[in-house]
Amino acid sequence: MVMKDGAVAPLQSDSPEPLWQQAARAITREIAAAKLSSGSRLPPERDLLTRLSISRVTLRKALHSLVNSGVLVSSHGRGWYVATEAHQEFPQTLESFSETAARLGLVPSSDVLRAQEAPATLDEAEELSVAPGSPVFHLERIRRLDGVPVAVDISYFSAIRGLDVSAIDFKTASLFRLLIDAGFDLARADSTIEARAADFTLARHLGIEVGMPVLAMWQLIEDGNGRPVCSSTITYAGDRYRLRTSFSRIGKNTAQG
């Protein structure tokens, strides 16, 4: 299939390989040949149907399979796009946004929405195991990869004695690096991930439509002794984040009566 000039390598209806798999491979070949560049929009579905001579059901199955494999991303009401590096899977290890960007070969940056110290509320004090009213530093940022807004990060942690955190330029500075350099041991994090719909403010920050799906990840980072260090809620645009995990079946393989 050559999408730029309309010439199409015909799919083989008599092949043992299903048509949807052939269609998926044809689209992947175009991407590999750079005829469809990273981040570009695929032709409209009606054009793909004509060029591939397949049904809409078959085409949709091919497109969804490419989304599941990370080749494409879908945007409701806008179409199908070739995945950029910013859509790669994020790690199962605890690493900073800057570390993730470096691993993917991307440039991280942030728009700082808030960076100020304030007295801990009752909920914040309980979460960080400090007294209510203790100084807590609040940091809110739009996180970007190669300039693309990927997430909104709202974090807070106990103020660091002797360090004026408000003087740090968090447009480029790493919060993890700051905490590590201050002597904190970032050993583990309890995380909860849930799907939500983007409200007006979040949609504006991420450049998406109101109501679009987002993934909100809450994390409480602890040191090696289990003491809370930092609380974060990171909300990702749903089409720019994928978390893959694995499950092990332990002690369940004996026969059950």
pLDDT per residue over 164-185, tens digit each? 888 899 999 999 989 999 899 8
pTM for the full predicted model:
0.62
pLDDT at 20 over 80: yes
Q: Which domains does the chain have, with CATH numbers?
A: 19-83 (1.10.10.10), 89-240 (3.40.1410.10)
pLDDT band at 3 (very low <50, low <70, confident <90, very high): very low
Contact at 8 Å (CB) between 83 and 28? no
215 φ/ψ angles, rounded to the nearest 5 degrees: -115, 120
Q: Which of 157, 106, 151, 103 has the alpha carbon at shortest distance from 134?
A: 157
The more confident residue out of 1 and 45 is 45
Could you tell me the CA-to-CA distances from 124 to 52, 119, 148, 175, 234 in Å, in that order?
56, 9, 31, 18, 16
Amino acid identity of 128? L
pLDDT at 4 over 50: no
SS3 of residue 220 by DSSP: strand
